[in-house]
């Protein structure tokens, strides 16, 4: 491990092969952590993506909706590092559409990834995070990636709103539990606004296909216009706050909501 604010710490990042998760993995490595990334891709596909981040990064294929996969992830981290100080529950998916058009299967799928995934990761890793937290200033840290859509409602976003609202409240619940039990584990939720990632672009393509906009650029222009800072966020701008929540500078923060949205929810 290299010197840095997060040296001597081990992190686990879900959904770390693209978008916000990849930026977080890169930033945690840059700050000195050893990082285990998981995602849905096979290791062969992950290698060229993570290779540039160097030897501090390793990869395991995990579907965050699977208890069996989470158990394997836990065993992998324990065997390789013997500790875990940072858990970034980032993997997520989206779903848009009028409420009457959402199928129960679609609803269950988004809850499985966005909510069950965060619960399962937290449950399996809490004992190791608690055991490792006493070793580091500020203790271990769970960072649950919610969204501004976990704070405010939006038309035709009800399923995603629900899943991200659940992440927000789950985070507060575990934060209270850990504090009450004097466990050296903090938990905070992160609320990004519109960030330019493959997920956002896939959403744009679906809206264009539905005829909601002529092209993706029209949607970007529309989002820029309603964002006080006048632009989309970049994944690196989410990774910095994640590193802050992961390390000693946020040692008195737990159960908090960190909003990174260019002012969108301040209006
Ligand atoms: N991009 C935004 O504007 C935005 C805004 C607010 C919150 N978020 C949240 O940030 C997180 C990351 O989003 P992103 O924009 O980087 O998305 P992305 O689609 O670019 O990346 C998400 C990653 O999660 C992985 N993933 C999906 N389902 C998984 C599963 N079941 N198991 C393991 N991995 C899985 C995907 O393969 C992908 O690599 C999500 O939770 C998302 O809801 C994104």
Average pLDDT of the residues in 97-125: 98
pLDDT of residue 91: 98
Mean of pLDDT values over 173-198: 98
CA 43 from centroid of its chain's CA atoms: 20
Task: Provide the residue ranges of all domains of the chain, joining segments of one domain with +.
Answer: 10-197+235-261, 198-233
Ligand 1 pocket residues where CB is under 6 Å? 14-15, 17-21, 39-40, 62-65, 90-93, 113, 145, 147, 192, 194-195, 197-200
At residue 262, does pLDDT exceed 90?
yes
Task: Using alpha carbons, select from 137, 111, 146 the residue that is nearest to residue 261.
Answer: 146
Q: Which residue among 12, 20, 144 has the greatest number of ligand 1 atoms within 8 angstroms of its CB, and so is best to mutate?
A: 20
Q: How confident is the model at residue 1 (pLDDT cuts 50, 70, 90)?
A: very low
pLDDT of 150 reads: 98
Banded model confidence at residue 245, pLDDT cuts 50, 70, 90: very high
Indicate the CATH number of 10-197+235-261 among 1.10.3720.10, 2.40.110.10, 3.40.50.300, 3.40.50.720.
Answer: 3.40.50.720
pTM across the whole model: 0.98
State pLDDT tens for residues 31-50: 999 999 999 999 999 999 99
**Residues carrying an active site annotation:** 160
Confidence of residue 249 (pLDDT cuts 50, 70, 90): very high
Confidence of residue 210 (pLDDT cuts 50, 70, 90): confident
Give 192's strand partners: 260
């Amino acid at each position: 491990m290299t010197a840095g604010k997060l040296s001597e710490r081990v992190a686990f990042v879900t959904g770390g092969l693209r978008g916000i998760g990849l930026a977080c993995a890169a930033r945690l490595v840059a700050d000195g952590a050893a990082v285990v990334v998981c995602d849905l891709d096979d290791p062969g596909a992950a290698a060229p993506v993570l290779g540039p981040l160097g030897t501090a990064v390793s990869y395991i294929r995990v579907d965050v909706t699977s208890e069996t996969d989470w158990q394997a992830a836990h065993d992998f981290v324990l065997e390789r590092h013997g500790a875990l100080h940072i858990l970034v529950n980032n993997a997520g998916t989206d779903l848009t559409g009028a409420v009457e058009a959402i199928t129960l299967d679609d609803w269950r799928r988004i809850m499985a990834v966005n909510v069950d995934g965060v619960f399962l990761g937290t449950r399996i890793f809490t004992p190791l995070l608690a055991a490792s937290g006493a070793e580091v200033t500020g203790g271990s840290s769970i960072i649950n990636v919610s969204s501004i859509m976990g704070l405010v409602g939006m038309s035709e976003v009800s399923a995603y709103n629900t899943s991200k609202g659940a992440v927000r409240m789950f985070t507060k619940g575990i934060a209270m539990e850990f504090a009450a039990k004097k466990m050296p584990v903090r938990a905070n939720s992160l609320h990004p606004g519109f960030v330019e990632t493959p997920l956002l672009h896939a959403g744009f393509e679906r809206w264009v296909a539905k005829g909601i906009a002529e092209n993706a650029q029209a949607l970007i222009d529309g989002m820029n216009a309603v964002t006080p800072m006048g632009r989309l966020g970049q994944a690196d701008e989410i990774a910095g706050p994640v590193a802050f929540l992961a390390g000693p500078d946020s040692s008195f923060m737990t159960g908090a909501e960190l909003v990174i949205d260019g002012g969108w929810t301040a209006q």
